[in-house]
A and B are shown apart, each in its own frame.
Chain A
Amino acid sequence: MHNVFIIGTGTTPVAEHYMRTLTDLALEAFGAALQEVAPTVTPSDIGALYVANALGESLAGQSQLGALLATATGLVGIEAIRVEAAGASGGVALRQAAMAIMAGVHDLVAVIGVEKVTDKLDPEVEAGLALAIDSDFEAEQGFTMTAQWALLMRRYMHEYGYAADAFAPFPVNAHTNAVSNPGAMYRFAINADKYRKAGQVASPLNMLDCSSLADGAAVLLLASERRVREWGVPAIRIAASALATDTLALHARRDLLWFAAVQQSATTALGQANLTHTDIDVLELTDPHGIAAALALEASGFVERGTAPRHAADGGITPTGATPLATGGGYKARGDTGGASGVYQVVELVRQLRGTAGAAQVKDAQVAFAQCLGGVGATAVTHILVNAER
């Protein structure tokens, strides 16, 4: 199998981009990524497009995004597909793209994560998100994805003896880091006191522990080793890629507080890269809520089960901690971009590995861990990135 490298990244800010269409957003991020490698690399070098998008049909009224964006990017006729796995779409599209290079089918591909949600009002947005949970037995019963995270949070608090504000360190860390991310949606700090006073959304989740869905696009250019050598461009190697699934319905899980798909994909990825948890310098996880980050940290094996909130309270997730998380603001402060989130995650980790993350820079970051989830851990896809010298 061939090695795979990330050679270019581009994003739009995450925001309510009322003036921009889905295509506008995708083109802006695509242009930015190409700008990083111009003039050495040109669009005509690209062999395929992988579009990561979860809500195109339900919220943007548009399907067949592969063909749409192939034309929009001026690459009419190119191989192009859209990849959907709810919130994991970004990571899954990255995996599909990486596999094309690993298999030697292509030597330069683009991953375009894009989500356009603000043309619709809140009830339709909730309905779109609810497509990712079990239709007959969860959505039709009045459940939302937020409700499911809330159910897990309450059960977690009950089993491990935490109060709700034990999760405050997660959004507090995310917001602090977002201050130094120009593309983040919310660039103001919050604190534990504000967290305690925030209104309930789905008890015990409050307003400061719930991310907001917004518009954005993020792009990655992936190249083969041969092309990297030929072009002489700086590169980040994808050292691992692993995907696992679990039951869609939460009530069907064997152990609700243990994300088996997360464990499986994380373990497989670390094995592929021949690394251990302590080798990881910086992480991106699906963290729309503190409980999500906690469960992902635990099932990925970074901390013992039931200890993630204490680990966070002790500073473990800050840029100077053992598992720096959400250095660009995470889902909460950078913003949740649905199917594009998994691509934003990787762009942020590349920023860290390149050493250009400003105040939120993790010192000497060489190895990064990106994981995104579809639904409440029904799909889990993990990538490990390393600076190319390693």
Chain B
Amino acid sequence: MDLAKHWRQKATRYRLEGQRHRVTGAVRFPAQPGMPGEDPDVWEPFVFSGQGEIYSFTVLRQAATGFAQIGPYPVALVKLVEGPLVSAQLTDCAEADLAIGLPVEMVTRRLKDMGADGVLVYGYKFRPILR
């Protein structure tokens, strides 16, 4: 059923929450566990703005499991303005709209439907900027 597996990710998936280093200001997404010997409190939660640009993209015609329902769909590596790269689907766009460098923004959408007796999984996708 994968209940806890998705539940653990809600801050990350719903709000694009990563981490910032309290001392250096470096940011990373997603959050990582602490390394051996590292001060456990040195990384604090950091919510990314959701703004970014397309670093690369592709339109998948042979879907991953659980994604076959939506037909061909675009996925991308998005470079967030704060620096990190994120792997995410693109939405609200046609293939012809897509280009490396296109500015995009994060939206929260339904990622997966785990079936009639399963949960709905929500998470981040990116779309061309609305305004």
Contacts and interface: CB of A to CB of B under 8 A. Distances in A.
A binds B: yes
Interface of A: 122-124, 126-127, 130, 134, 136-144, 146-147, 150-152, 154-155, 158, 200-205, 249-252, 256
Contacts of A205: 58
Contacts of B88: 141
Contacts of A155: 55-56, 77, 100
B131 interface: no
B60 A144 contact: yes
A122 B100 contact: no
A255 B58 CA distance: 19
A147 B100 contact: no
Q: Is the interface of B mostly helix, strand, loop or mixed?
A: strand
Contacts of B5: 136
Interface stretch (B19-27, B37-45, B68-76): B68-76
Q: Is the interface of A mostly helix, strand, loop or mixed?
A: helix
Interface in B40-83: 55-68, 73, 75-77
Contacts of B87: 134, 137-138, 141, 143, 249-251
B107 interface: no
B64 A139 contact: yes
Interface residues of B, number: 34
Nearest to B28: A252
A203 B63 contact: no
Given A142-B75, A154-B100, A251-B86, A130 B61 contact: no
A126 B56 contact: no
B112 A140 contact: yes
A251 B124 CA distance: 15
A204 B58 contact: yes
B99 to A, nearest CB: 9
A151 B57 contact: yes
Contacts of A252: 85
Interface string B77-105: 10000001111110000010000100000
Given A130-B65, A158-B100, A142 B58 contact: no
Contact of B60 (A137, A140, A202): A202
A251 B95 contact: no
Contact of A130 (B30, B64, B75, B112): B64
Top 3 A-B pairs, shortest CB-CB distance: A150-B58, A251-B85, A127-B65
Contacts of A140: 6, 9, 111-112, 121, 123
Contacts of A136: 5, 9, 30
A136 B33 CA distance: 14
Given A130-B64, A151-B77, A141 B58 contact: no
